[in-house]
């Protein structure tokens, strides 16, 4: 199949690289020339495990990148819409990129011969594809969905850091389509995948994405709430999580308590669902609580730090980890943002280290903090260390150059059993 992918961000680029690796001919499109140049030079503009290796194999062969959307759509049979869907301040989804890309695709479809399917992969609130994307495509193409072209919604479930693995071996593939022909067309590009394929209507596919992320976020806030209670009762919530996770109805996944969830999806998607629910006069009590727990959770690490190490003013604090989770350079909605800002506000002197996210962090914190080149450098001379991201390299850290060896772990990243006796270690929920 000849596939064009509009928007070469995290989702678009993984999707494009994955389809190319599986033998399809793919054209990536983005409005940013530097992204396109990087891809054409076989260099991923984002850090994602395994992506550079795939780009080396496919770029120039069956994957090319361009800023020319028209040419890309004209030369392909299927177009995946992967532009960003940022959050407006009030939680609603900003659809300007989705609308703009749909207009551009529609104008090309006006001239294009042959059957074409437009597949929405961007996360959009149930109803958006039918109420916004399809009308814009029809208006700009002068053609009719179902008769002249097809539309489908095929949500992504890619976790950053393991996105290639998630693309190649998904738990399920969800395809919501305007009609059977469009759905069959999309299903054909997943030929060879052994995952279950679920065919639905368009808005059900849109809702499956939101319900999945909302459920996973709920699991995290739930275990954090249990963890906060455990902490006060002197119980390790990780033992509790193991105990409940063995019940197959609960499962052991997404029960890692700590400083809460961040990233480009969970916070934004839960807020968007809350916004939509309110708009249709529903009160989403559980989802509201999920967000409330998650808002407070990052600062738990500072409450504990203050109890252990006294006031933060003037204190030299090592912050280890800035990314919203390990194996990514992504800082979007990272719990590190609230933690570092509060440390700065309280007058602490922060030296931060992250194996990948330092450049992105500089854009957020500027010169308010120092950026160390290694964990050892950040720890040197500090009186308090906060573990904010669960990077594997933090498992067996050496704290001997700290001035005062107080360590508060927000992610259970450290192997507590191997710590020397002179390190005072405390976990957020254990």
- Binding residue (CB under 6 A) for ligand UDX from 5, 11, 378, 386: 11
Task: Rule CB under 6 A: choose which of 315, 325, 356, 405 binds ligand UDX.
Answer: 325
Angle 96-111/134-141 helices, nearest 10 degrees?
40
Q: Which of residues 289-308 bind ligand UDX (CB under 6 A)?
A: none
Check binding of 273 to ligand UDX (CB under 6 A): no
266: left (phi over 0), alpha (psi -120 to 50) or beta: alpha
Token duo for residue 111:
């001239």
Task: Please report whether residue 75 would count as binding ligand UDX according to CB under 6 A.
Answer: no
Query: In Å, how far are 40, 362, 399 from 60, measured between CA atoms?
Result: 7, 34, 47
Q: Which of 324, 365, 399, 430 contacts ligand UDX by CB under 6 A? A: 324
* Residue 97 found at the interface with ligand UDX (CB under 6 A): yes
From the list 106, 150, 176, 263, which residue makes contact with ligand UDX (rule: CB under 6 A)? 263
- Binding status of residue 123 toward ligand UDX by CB under 6 A: yes
Q: Which of residues 33-72 bind ligand UDX (CB under 6 A)?
A: 35
The reply on whether position 329 binds ligand UDX by CB under 6 A is no
Rank residues 183 and 298 by Cβ distance to ligand UDX and give the closer one: 298
Minimum Å gap between C-beta 382 and ligand UDX is 23
Rule CB under 6 A: is residue 26 a binding residue for ligand UDX? no
Of 44, 62, 122, 360, the residue at the interface with ligand UDX (CB under 6 A) is 122
Contact code string over 138-167 relative to ligand UDX, x by CB under 6 A: -------------------xxxx-------
Q: Which of 24, 112, 256, 405 contacts ligand UDX by CB under 6 A?
A: 256
Contact call for residue 83 and ligand UDX (CB under 6 A): yes
429 included as an active-site residue: no
126 binds ligand UDX (CB under 6 A): no
Does position 12 interact with ligand UDX (CB under 6 A)? The reply is: yes
- What is the spatial distance between Cα 287 and Cα 274, in angstroms, rounded to a whole number? 7
What minimum distance in Å lies between the beta carbon of 391 and ligand UDX?
11
8 binding ligand UDX? (CB under 6 A): yes
Q: Which range touches ligand UDX (CB under 6 A), out of 167-175, 229-237, 249-257, 346-354?
A: 249-257
| 391 is a contact residue toward ligand UDX (CB under 6 A) | no
CB of 232 to ligand UDX, least distance (A): 20
CB of 115 closer than 8 Å to CB of 122: no
Q: At closest approach, how far in Å is the CB of 265 from ligand UDX?
A: 3
Work out whether 168 is an interface residue with ligand UDX (CB under 6 A). Answer: no
Nearest-CB residue for ligand UDX:
9
Q: Catalytic pick from 28, 82, 230, 265?
A: 265
Residue number with CB closer to ligand UDX (217 or 309): 217
- Which residues make Cβ contacts (< 8 Å) with residue 310, sequence separation at least 6? none
| Whole-Å CA distances, 428 to 241, 297, 300, 402, 419 | 15, 9, 7, 21, 17
x/- map, 193-222, ligand UDX, by CB under 6 A:
--------------------x--x---x--
Per rule CB under 6 A, is residue 9 in the interface with ligand UDX? yes
Tokens standing for 66? 């361009």
Q: Which residues sit at the interface with ligand UDX, rule CB under 6 A?
A: 6-12, 30-32, 35, 82-85, 97, 100-101, 122-123, 157-160, 213, 216, 220, 254-256, 258, 261-266, 324-325
Catalytic residues: 265
């Amino acid at each position: 199949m000849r596939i064009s992918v509009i928007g070469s961000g995290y989702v678009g680029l993984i999707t494009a690289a994955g389809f190319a690796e599986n033998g399809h001919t793919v054209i990536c499109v983005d409005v940013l020339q530097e992204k396109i140049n990087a891809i054409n030079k076989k260099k991923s503009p984002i850090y994602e495990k395994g992506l550079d290796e795939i780009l080396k194999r496919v770029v120039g062969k069956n994957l090319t990148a361009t800023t020319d959307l028209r040419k890309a759509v004209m030369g392909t049979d299927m177009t995946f819409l992967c532009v960003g869907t940022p959050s407006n301040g009030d939680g609603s989804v900003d659809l300007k990129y989705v609308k703009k890309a749909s207009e551009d695709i529609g104008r090309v479809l006006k001239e294009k011969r042959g059957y074409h399917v437009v597949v929405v992969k961007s996360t959009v609130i149930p109803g958006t594809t039918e109420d916004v994307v399809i009308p814009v495509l029809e208006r700009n193409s002068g053609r009719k969905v179902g008769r002249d072209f097809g539309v489908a919604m095929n949500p992504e479930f890619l976790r950053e850091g393991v996105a290639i693995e998630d693309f190649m071996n998904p738990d399920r593939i969800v395809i919501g389509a305007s009609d059977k022909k469009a759905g069959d067309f999309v299903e054909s590009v997943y030929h060879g995948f052994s995952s279950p394929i679920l065919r639905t209507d368009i808005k059900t596919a849109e809702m499956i994405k939101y319900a999945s992320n909302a459920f996973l976020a709920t699991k995290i806030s739930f275990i954090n709430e249990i963890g906060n209670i455990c902490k006060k009762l002197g119980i390790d919530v990780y033992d509790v999580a193991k105990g409940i996770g063995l019940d197959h109805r609960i499962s052991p996944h997404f029960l890692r308590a700590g400083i809460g969830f961040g990233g480009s999806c969970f916070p934004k998607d839960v807020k968007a669902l809350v916004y939509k629910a309110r708009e249709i006069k529903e009160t989403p009590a559980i989802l509201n609580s999920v967000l409330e727990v998650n808002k407070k959770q990052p600062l738990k690490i500072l409450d504990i730090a203050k109890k252990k190490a006294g006031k933060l003013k003037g204190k030299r604090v090592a912050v280890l980890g800035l990314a919203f989770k390990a194996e990514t350079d992504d800082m979007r909605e990272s719990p590190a943002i609230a933690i570092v800002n509060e440390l700065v506000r309280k007058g602490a002197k922060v030296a931060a280290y992250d194996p990948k996210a330092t450049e992105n962090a500089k854009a957020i914190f500027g010169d308010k903090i120092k950026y160390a080149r290694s964990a050892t450098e950040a720890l040197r001379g500090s009186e308090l260390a906060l573990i904010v991201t669960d990077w594997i390299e933090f498992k067996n850290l050496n704290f001997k150059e700290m001035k005062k060896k107080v360590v508060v772990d927000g992610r259970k990243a450290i192997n507590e059993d191997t710590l020397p006796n002179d390190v005072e270690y405390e976990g957020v929920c254990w």
